[in-house]
Structure 1
Amino acid sequence: MSDRLFTMLLQQVLPQDAPDGVKDRRSREYADRPGFSLPVMSNNFRRFNARIGVAFVFQNRMIRLFSWKEPTQTLSFLAVYTFICLEPTLLPVVPLALCLFFIMVPAFLTRHPPPPSNQPTDLYPLAGPPLAPAQNIKPAPELSKDFFRNMRDLQNVMEDFSRVHDTLITVLAPPTNFSNEALSSVLFLLLSATACLLFITSHLLPWRAIFLVSGWAVICACHPSAQSFLHSTHTDAMIQDQEINARSWLLRLSKSDISLSSAPETREVEIFELQNRPLHTADAEYESFLFSPSPYAPLSPARIAGDRPRGTRFFEDVQAPKGWRWRDKKWTLDLLSREWVEERYVTGVEVEIEGERWVTDILYEEQNIDEFGHPLDPTKSRGEVKGKGKAKPVPKSWEEGNGLDKKGEWRRRRWVRAVERVAMAGVEGA
Structure 2
Amino acid sequence: MDEVTNGGLANRDGRVPVIKLDSPSSQSEVSLNSPGKDNKGKSHSIRSKLGDKARKMVGKDTKGDNGEKVGKGDKSPSMQDRLLEKLLQQVIPVEDQPKNQDGASYSNRIERPAFSLPTMSANFRRFNSRIGVVFVFQARVIRLLSWQKYSHTISLLAVYTFVCLDPHLITVLPLAGLLLGVFIPSFIARHPAPPVTLSTSFEYSPRGPPIAPAPTVRPVKELSKDFFRNMGDLQNCMEDFSQIHDQVLTKLAPPMNFSNEPLSSALFLFLFMSTAAMFIASHLVPWRFCFLIGGWFVIFSGHPAVAKMLADAHDQHLAPRESEAESWLDTWVSKDIMLDMEPETREVEVFELQKLDSRGEWEPWLYSASPYDPLAAPRIANERPRGTQFFEDVAPPRDWEWSEKKWNLDLWSREWVEERIITGVEVETEGERWVYDILYENSNPEPGVLHEGKGKVSQKPKPTWEEGVEGEGKKGQWRRRRWVRLVKRVVVTKSPGEG
Question: Same fold per TM (> 0.5)?
Answer: yes
2:76 corresponds to: none
2:393 corresponds to: 317
Residue 69 (structure 1) shift: 1.6
Contact 1:7–1:37 (8 Å) recurs in 2: no
Match of 1:326 among 386, 397, 402: 402
Contact 1:348–1:361 (8 Å) recurs in 2: no
Q: Does 1:218 align with 2:327?
A: no
Q: Does 1:145 align with 2:248?
A: no
Match of 1:291 among 367, 381, 387: 367
Q: Does 1:159 align with 2:239?
A: yes
Moved more, 412-421 or 77-86: 412-421
1:402 corresponds to: 470
Mapped to 1, the partners of 2:451 and 2:484 lie a distance apart of: 32
Question: Judging changes above 3 Å, is the alpha-carbon distance between structure 1 residues 369 and 65 closer, same or farther for their aligned structure 2 residues?
Answer: same
Residue 251 (structure 1) shift: 1.1
1:85 corresponds to: 164
Listed as ranges, the matches of 1:20-419 within 5 Å are: 37=115, 39=117, 42=121, 44-107=123-186, 112-118=190-196, 123-125=205-207, 132-133=213-214, 135=216, 137-231=217-311, 233=312, 235-236=314-315, 238-276=317-355, 287-296=363-372, 308-344=384-420, 346=421, 348-350=423-425, 352=427, 354-355=429-430, 356-359=432-435, 365=442, 369=448, 402=470, 404-405=472-473, 411-419=479-487
Moved more, 78-87 or 233-242: 233-242
3-state SS, counterpart of residue 397 of structure 2: coil
Contact 2:161–2:292 (8 Å) recurs in 1: yes
2:18 corresponds to: none
Mapped to 1, the partners of 2:230 and 2:181 lie a distance apart of: 22
Q: Deviation digits for residues 2-58 of structure 1, max 9, x if unmatched?
A: 33333432439xxx99xxxxxxxx986768697984636555544544443332222
Q: Deviation digits for residues 325-367 of structure 1, max 9, x if unmatched?
A: 22222112233444444544x5554252624444556667578
Mapped to 1, the partners of 2:121 and 2:426 lie a distance apart of: 69
Match of 1:6 among 62, 82, 88: 88
Question: Judging changes above 3 Å, is the alpha-carbon distance between structure 1 residues 366 and 306 closer, same or farther for their aligned structure 2 residues?
Answer: closer
Mapped to 2, the partners of 1:286 and 1:375 lie a distance apart of: 27
Moved more, 301-310 or 269-278: 301-310
Contact 1:347–1:398 (8 Å) recurs in 2: no
AA aligned to 2:269 is L
Question: Judging changes above 3 Å, is the alpha-carbon distance between structure 1 residues 122 and 310 closer, same or farther for their aligned structure 2 residues?
Answer: same
Q: Deviation digits for residues 380-402 of structure 1, max 9, x if unmatched?
A: xxxxxxxxxxxxxx766985782
Contact 2:371–2:480 (8 Å) recurs in 1: yes
Unaligned runs of 5+ in 1: 18-25, 380-393
Structure number with higher relative contact order (C-alpha < 8 Å, ≥ 6 residues apart): 2
3-state SS, counterpart of residue 367 of structure 2: strand
Moved more, 202-211 or 260-269: 260-269
Q: Deviation digits for residues 364-422 of structure 1, max 9, x if unmatched?
A: 7578727799988868xxxxxxxxxxxxxx76698578255466665544321012233
Question: Judging changes above 3 Å, is the alpha-carbon distance between structure 1 residues 115 and 370 closer, same or farther for their aligned structure 2 residues?
Answer: farther
3-state SS, counterpart of residue 325 of structure 1: strand
1:391 corresponds to: none
3-state SS, counterpart of residue 263 of structure 1: coil
Mapped to 1, the partners of 2:419 and 2:126 lie a distance apart of: 62
Mapped to 2, the partners of 1:417 and 1:100 lie a distance apart of: 78
Mapped to 1, the partners of 2:113 and 2:437 lie a distance apart of: 53
3-state SS, counterpart of residue 420 of structure 1: strand
Contact 1:182–1:260 (8 Å) recurs in 2: yes
AA aligned to 2:427 is E
Question: Judging changes above 3 Å, is the alpha-carbon distance between structure 1 residues 404 and 288 closer, same or farther for their aligned structure 2 residues?
Answer: farther
Mapped to 2, the partners of 1:49 and 1:59 lie a distance apart of: 15
1:386 corresponds to: none
Question: Judging changes above 3 Å, is the alpha-carbon distance between structure 1 residues 329 and 96 closer, same or farther for their aligned structure 2 residues?
Answer: same
1:385 corresponds to: none
Mapped to 2, the partners of 1:71 and 1:412 lie a distance apart of: 90
1:389 corresponds to: none
Contact 1:113–1:132 (8 Å) recurs in 2: no
Mapped to 1, the partners of 2:124 and 2:465 lie a distance apart of: 68
Q: Deviation digits for residues 230-273 of structure 1, max 9, x if unmatched?
A: 34x25246443344333222112123323334433221112233
Question: Judging changes above 3 Å, is the alpha-carbon distance between structure 1 residues 359 and 276 closer, same or farther for their aligned structure 2 residues?
Answer: same
Contact 1:264–1:421 (8 Å) recurs in 2: yes
Mapped to 1, the partners of 2:303 and 2:281 lie a distance apart of: 35
Moved more, 78-87 or 173-182: 173-182
Mapped to 1, the partners of 2:457 and 2:227 lie a distance apart of: 76
Question: Judging changes above 3 Å, is the alpha-carbon distance between structure 1 residues 236 and 63 closer, same or farther for their aligned structure 2 residues?
Answer: farther
Contact 1:277–1:284 (8 Å) recurs in 2: yes
Mapped to 2, the partners of 1:35 and 1:343 lie a distance apart of: 58
Contact 1:277–1:285 (8 Å) recurs in 2: yes
Question: Judging changes above 3 Å, is the alpha-carbon distance between structure 1 residues 52 and 288 closer, same or farther for their aligned structure 2 residues?
Answer: farther
Unaligned runs of 5+ in 2: 1-82
Q: Give the structure-2-normalised TM-score.
A: 0.65
Question: Judging changes above 3 Å, is the alpha-carbon distance between structure 1 residues 158 and 406 closer, same or farther for their aligned structure 2 residues?
Answer: farther
Question: Judging changes above 3 Å, is the alpha-carbon distance between structure 1 residues 109 and 310 closer, same or farther for their aligned structure 2 residues?
Answer: farther
AA aligned to 2:349 is E
Contact 2:368–2:386 (8 Å) recurs in 1: yes
Moved more, 218-227 or 95-104: 95-104
RMSD: 4.2
